[in-house]
Structure 1
């Protein structure tokens, strides 16, 4: 079971009263910041998609309907399009702002990532009978937000999915290997 952002926020608020005061305050603060960040990101992405759509329509119009007179000759305007560095930069920004594993290395270790990948492997194998991680490993993955517990079941969060996707195929340096 994997939660969407809004479900994760709701669960965080539900879990907060069952935590110690300091941990509950931290959980509520994280949920509030995630909520605000998610709304801001959603709005920015919507604006970006609208601008991309408008830009594509304008380029199509210019390429098919607009002509420029050069002396006695007419030429398609598309052959003389101006540079659009601001638009190009705006379109490229979401890609440049993608969260990378390097930005998370201050609190996520290769051991954490290896455990998360192992958890995912076990979840994807219906005959595994569940994961084979130590309790401490599961607790650590829950603490960094890669897993969440619901009753006796732990599952991978959206953040955990993101970690798995950006580290797929990376050789992890784990002690004892």
Structure 2
């Protein structure tokens, strides 16, 4: 968290308070964390997003993956109603994209995933795509065949486990790596489809 705070501060300073850190999402199966940012600007172009994401990657180096919140991508024309289809296409289009080196904290976030699955009474060997931290709930998304709720554990915090199509997870992950390597915004890939 200290490293994320430091990154957030540096990005905010380099963009004169235009780009701000919003949240993090752990992706245990791929051994990484995605940092998500907001944009304090009414209008933005794809070229500007390319520039911002390239700059943020220069700050985070290989410690994290990054993207912007959905409302930022909508400003440049990303249609989220067709996201599932695009992610399925991405899983084929970017299948040969080289795998990203796992971050130094990969083992720890995998242990977190196992702990949360055990707490929810589930098999801990499942592939966890994502852990989202909400105010009073942790959402654990496991890689499977379809979108469906699996389990809910009431406690402090509540844990909600759902299944998401693994093909779409892979598509998004590989597209993110492609965008990073080519120094373009993920939004560009989502718009151009």
Which one has a larger percent strand, Structure 1 or Structure 2?
Answer: 2
What is the TM-score normalised by the length of structure 1? 0.28
**Of the two structures, which has the highest relative contact order with CA contacts closer than 8 Å and spacing of 6 or more?**
2
- Structure number with bigger Rg: 1
Which one has a larger percent helix, Structure 1 or Structure 2?
Answer: 1
What is the TM-score normalised by the length of structure 2? 0.26
